[in-house]
Chains A and B, each alone.
Chain A
């Protein structure tokens, strides 16, 4: 079910402001790709263009091509809703639906999109929670509100919710930045096990995290304040962290700026 994403010559705008410029890359299936770079360099913006979440913001638009296998995601007759169903997303801050129980949160994506029998839903909810390493902790309180969980549990609940709709790609926008080290570890373990089935893209500010979980790393940078962010280089993670091709990458990962 995992698929490859190809991006060619992609620009993204907020109104008149160009946030990222001319990004071309290939994201491999069944692997973890990490985006690193200083704040404001457009990593999150670029991530959101991959499932057409960017255009949700008023005035935001995208130019260029994003292809999932052979399909152009920005083609004229492509429904953005079905793109998002295929490419799931986990956000920086855990955002379970406050009016719903744990069970309903996981089932939300399915229930809001079609009809499923009770037993079907039960199975998917259990599998998704197991997939997110949360089942043991919540199986006795599935019908309590999701907002009663700890931050790390809430984030895993959001991951369970995202994988319950069986996406082909999972985008993660700094999924651990609001969590403590133990919850972070739980989520990193989860990412490593999820990559067997999914194409995973993760934005992170934590370079150790990128080094730990990812197979490929892309470094983004911006030339200056108000300039659009650009892709500096993308390579095997081990190469980026030991022998980067660009001076800027080396400066960033050794902590000389950013």
Chain B
């Protein structure tokens, strides 16, 4: 049987080899990226599980001596939750409104461009600087006490650019067709934004906010300068020193006894779990709000 030359040729050996090599490189890069992640998680879980018990979750460090076993991070968990919640209450509305301005109203004007520039600058601000700023302005200049709220302000400075950037991306993804459809129905611009644009971008905005929360929940430096330390439970974030989980880990890890080191590991594990839990809740909210689910 004779074959008519069609011009279609088999894959050459050289291309096969190149394909293999690139395959291997890509998998290798993936493995290298995942190794530190897995090893951190594994170490934290292994060392943290020893003290991850009811006592740890329900007791503070009050009256726990330097060499005593026991004690817990209840005061730090309360502190972290309150500080992150307050920081979100400050940063999310401001960040979201900024993003709405940049996408819907600024349209490349001078103000929009300078805001964009300063948001980029803020993204690069080291976390300790935001702590120093609140320390200098709120605590030293205005004479306010160390408090969870001061810490929340420092954290909100770190959250804001992350919220602005992610919300901006999500708002830009909303097709212009939808805005025009709403305008053509005689809907004013602000209602179009509130009722059409924001709901369409909702899922993405929630994800962005969660990333920002996850980022600040583990910050230690700004809290060191603004909420100070305490071994006792302080439920009032507006008055007096509080604790936070990152501070707790930092504090316990610096103590010379094994029981303290164990507490530090468990504190780290608790922090990871809290961030994961918040993420899960946000995903549930996003899933519950998504149109695909409502249709089923």
Contacts and interface: CB of A to CB of B under 8 A. Distances in A.
Nearest to B296: A144
A86 B196 contact: no
Chain B contact patch, size range: 20 to 34
A99 interface: yes
Interface string A193-237: 000000000000000000000000000000000000000000000
B283 to A, nearest CB: 17
A53 B178 CA distance: 13
Contact of B295 (A58, A86, A113, A145): A145
Given A95-B178, A99-B200, A56 B183 contact: yes
A85 B178 CA distance: 16
Contacts of B107: 58
Interface stretch (B11-19, B187-195, B226-234, B266-274): B187-195
A53 B180 CA distance: 8
Contacts of A97: 178, 181-182, 196, 200
A252 interface: no
A51 interface: yes
B21 interface: no
Contacts, number: 85
Interface string A154-187: 0000100110010000000000000000000000
Contact of A88 (B182, B184, B195, B292): B184
Helix, strand, loop or mixed for chain B's interface? Answer: helix
A83 B183 CA distance: 10
A6 B183 CA distance: 22
Residue picked from A85, A95, A108, most chain B C-beta under 10 Å = A95
B180 A82 contact: no
B291 interface: yes
Contacts of B200: 97-99
B291 A145 contact: yes
A91 interface: yes
B231 to A, nearest CB: 48
A143 B192 CA distance: 21
A100 B191 CA distance: 15
Which are the 6 A-B pairs with shortest beta-carbon distances? A85-B186, A109-B185, A89-B184, A95-B177, A145-B291, A144-B295
Given A81-B186, A84-B185, A99-B202, 7 more contacts: A88-B184, A97-B200, A109-B186, A113-B187, A145-B291, A145-B294, A148-B295
26 contacts: A53-B184, A58-B107, A81-B183, A81-B187, A82-B186, A84-B186, A85-B185, A91-B177, A97-B178, A97-B182, A97-B196, A99-B196, A99-B199, A101-B294, A108-B182, A108-B185, A108-B187, A109-B185, A109-B186, A112-B182, A113-B185, A145-B294, A145-B295, A158-B181, A161-B181, A165-B186
